[in-house]
């Protein structure tokens, strides 16, 4: 059995557990009519690293050539200080849920078919061509963060083109925007192509982005991006020794996040807030005691992203003290700003606690694409509907991923902060929101 038969949109509910197995490439692809995300690009670390270090293909993740000392794994129970003890207590509180979810995942009768078919897809996609030759704008990926520092950066533009029919020839230019510090929008009900800085990017339908540094725009984020979001997903560049060492991106002092103007960005009727956090106790204390109170967010549920290898086993042992195989998504509500509005809005359906999302990780720090979970490309939907009638069941699980929990009845209006990609119907902000939108990550359908 293949993914096409079992979970065409990449979301496989795991029976008997509060858990879902996700295939992010399919989730991303379901949002595009003309393109699909290339599995070998998405999973380059998980499927190929053993044989070849693909970080060397990517200028942003190149490591210095010096030999790295092999670090000894920390002993399993080494709680020399009170913070470690607290972290261990937190871990002990959820380890059985994680184990149960993982057991239920391994017990899926089709699990080996799903993993095998994914591996086949990844290897097959390696042989297929990506989109770059269509637009003839060079083969190198652009490092937008570096580009934003050069003196010419204010002069860089992005020009959007429509995508025409199956030939994928771009139409006449639709519009041109400054590339940095300006809100760029694809207001078409289909994806468009953006040409900028010698590269080509794909913009999903109705997506928007602002590419800027926190220092330059934190005061003006709401005037750039609007104040109507009922779902805000945040994946900050937390200070972290290992991030410093490998330096895939720069980090921000945690205190800076207190200045993120979440209240200004959120819809006046309230918003669901999702915050990715690492397992460091210092960080949890900061979020619980300072950050959420400053933002006015009430913590409601914690979801766990369990990372597995291509054979389905966890990426590290569950009980190693400093490198857990899971990361946490804290979900909370920012309450309505005005009392009179709160009476008009039905109370949101609260997300279930301890939901486990299982997937094989992609690039360093790349999270499963939760922000695209409520938006469907109609062409894809109809195409798949006719091919796979049982998809309707899957669809309900997929939509329920997060959009069911946003305040209000209507559509999710999503904003992703510190984003590295775009999603249909959503707005992305960060210093590199086009990173994974470059055509090298996609192929033609
Ligand atoms: N959620 C993303 C994903 O799934 O790919 C990963 C986000 S990563 C943890 C944090 C991002 O914040 C990186 O893209 C990094 O370049 C960006 N960042 C770091 N410092 C920043 C700053 N001063 N202003 C804006 N973005 C920044």
pLDDT at 60: 42
pTM (2 d.p.): 0.87
Position 38 confidence tier, pLDDT thresholds 50, 70, 90: very high
Residue nearest to atom 11 of ligand 1 (CA): 418
Tell whether ligand 1 has an atom less than 6 A from the beta carbon of residue 367.
yes
CA atoms within 13 A on the CB side of 79: 13
The encoded tokens of residue 91 equal 């871990």
Q: If residue 326 lies in a helix (H) or strand (E), which one and from where to where?
A: strand 326-334
CA of 160 from ligand 1 middle (Å) equals: 24
Choice from 213, 368, 431 to test ligand 1 binding pocket (greatest atom count within 8 A of CB): 431
Choice from 141, 249, 256, 437 to test ligand 1 binding pocket (greatest atom count within 8 A of CB): 249
Closest by Cα among 368, 253, 250 to 306: 368
- Work out which ligand 1 atom sits closest to the CA atom of 435: 14
- Work out which ligand 1 atom sits closest to the CA atom of 233: 1
Q: What are phi and psi of 265, to 5 degrees?
A: -80, -25
pLDDT in tens, 47-75: 765 544 433 444 443 434 444 555 555 55
CA of 243 from ligand 1 middle (Å) equals: 11
Three-state secondary-structure class, residue 25 = helix
CA of 329 from ligand 1 middle (Å) equals: 16
Distance of CA 408 to the CA centre of its chain: 23
Position 189 confidence tier, pLDDT thresholds 50, 70, 90: confident
Three-state secondary-structure class, residue 119 = helix
Closest by Cα among 359, 357, 396 to 97: 357
Per the model's pLDDT, the better-predicted residue between 424 and 245 turns out to be: 424
- Per the CB < 8 A criterion, the answer to whether 422 and 415 are in contact is no
Position 257 confidence tier, pLDDT thresholds 50, 70, 90: very high
Whether the pLDDT of residue 339 is over 50: the answer is no
Segment 235-244 shows an average pLDDT of 78
- Per the CB < 8 A criterion, the answer to whether 163 and 205 are in contact is no
Whether the pLDDT of residue 430 is over 90: the answer is yes
% of residues, the chain, pLDDT over 90: 52
CA of 214 from ligand 1 middle (Å) equals: 10
Position 79 confidence tier, pLDDT thresholds 50, 70, 90: low
Q: Which of 276-285, 303-312, 347-356 has the lowest mean pLDDT?
A: 347-356
CA of 420 from ligand 1 middle (Å) equals: 7
Average pLDDT, the chain: 82
pLDDT at 255: 94
> Looking at the DSSP assignment, which residues form a beta bridge with residue 66?
none
C-alpha 271/C-alpha 232 separation (Å) is: 7
Tell whether ligand 1 has an atom less than 6 A from the beta carbon of residue 359.
no
Three-state secondary-structure class, residue 91 = helix
Whether the pLDDT of residue 196 is over 60: the answer is yes
Residue nearest to atom 12 of ligand 1 (CA): 418
Segment 185-208 shows an average pLDDT of 92
Tell whether ligand 1 has an atom less than 6 A from the beta carbon of residue 294.
no
């Amino acid at each position: 059995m293949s993914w096409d038969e079992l979970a065409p949109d990449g979301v496989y509910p795991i029976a008997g557990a509060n858990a879902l197995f996700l295939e992010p490439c399919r989730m991303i692809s379901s949002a595009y009519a003309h393109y699909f995300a290339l599995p070998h690009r998405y999973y380059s670390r998980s499927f190929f690293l053993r044989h070849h270090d693909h970080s060397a293909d990517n200028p942003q993740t190149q490591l210095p050539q010096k030999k790295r000392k092999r670090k000894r794994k920390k002993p399993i129970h080494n709680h020399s200080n009170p913070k470690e003890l607290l972290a261990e207590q937190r871990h002990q509180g959820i380890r059985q849920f994680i184990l149960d979810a993982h057991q239920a995942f391994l017990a899926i009768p089709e699990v080996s078919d799903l993993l095998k078919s994914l591996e086949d897809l990844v290897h097959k996609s390696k042989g297929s061509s990506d989109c770059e030759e269509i637009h003839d704008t060079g083969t190198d990926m652009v490092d937008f963060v570096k580009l934003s520092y050069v003196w010419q950066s204010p002069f860089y533009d992005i020009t959007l083109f429509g995508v025409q029919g199956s030939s994928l020839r771009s139409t006449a230019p639709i519009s041109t925007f400054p590339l940095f510090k300006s809100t760029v929008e694809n207001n078409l009900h289909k994806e468009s192509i953006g040409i900028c800085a010698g590269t080509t990017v794909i913009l999903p339908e109705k997506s928007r982005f602002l590419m800027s540094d926190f220092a330059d725009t934190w005061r003006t984020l709401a005037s750039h991006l609007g104040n109507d979001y009922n779902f805000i997903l945040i994946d900050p560049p937390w200070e972290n020794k290992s991030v410093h060492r490998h330096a895939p991106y720069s980090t921000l002092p945690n205190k800076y996040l207190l200045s993120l103007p979440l209240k200004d960005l959120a819809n006046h009727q309230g918003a669901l807030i999702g915050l990715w956090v690492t397992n460091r106790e210092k960080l949890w204390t900061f979020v619980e005691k300072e950050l959420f109170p400053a933002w006015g967010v009430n913590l409601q549920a914690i979801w766990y992203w369990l990372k597995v290898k291509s054979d389905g086993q966890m990426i590290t042992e569950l009980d190693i003290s400093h490198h857990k195989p899971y990361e946490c998504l804290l979900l909370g509500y920012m309450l309505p700003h005005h009392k009179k509005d709160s009476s008009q809005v039905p109370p949101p359906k609260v997300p279930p606690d301890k939901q486990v999302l299982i997937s094989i990780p992609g690039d360093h720090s790349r999270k499963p694409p939760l922000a695209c979970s409520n938006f469907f490309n109609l062409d894809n939907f109809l195409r798949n509907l006719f091919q796979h009638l049982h998809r309707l069941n899957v669809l309900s699980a997929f939509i329920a991923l997060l959009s069911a929990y946003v305040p209000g009845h209507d559509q999710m209006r999503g904003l992703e902060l510190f984003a590295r990609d775009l999603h249909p119907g959503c707005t992305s902000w960060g210093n590199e929101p086009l990173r994974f939108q470059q055509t090298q990550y996609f192929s033609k359908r």
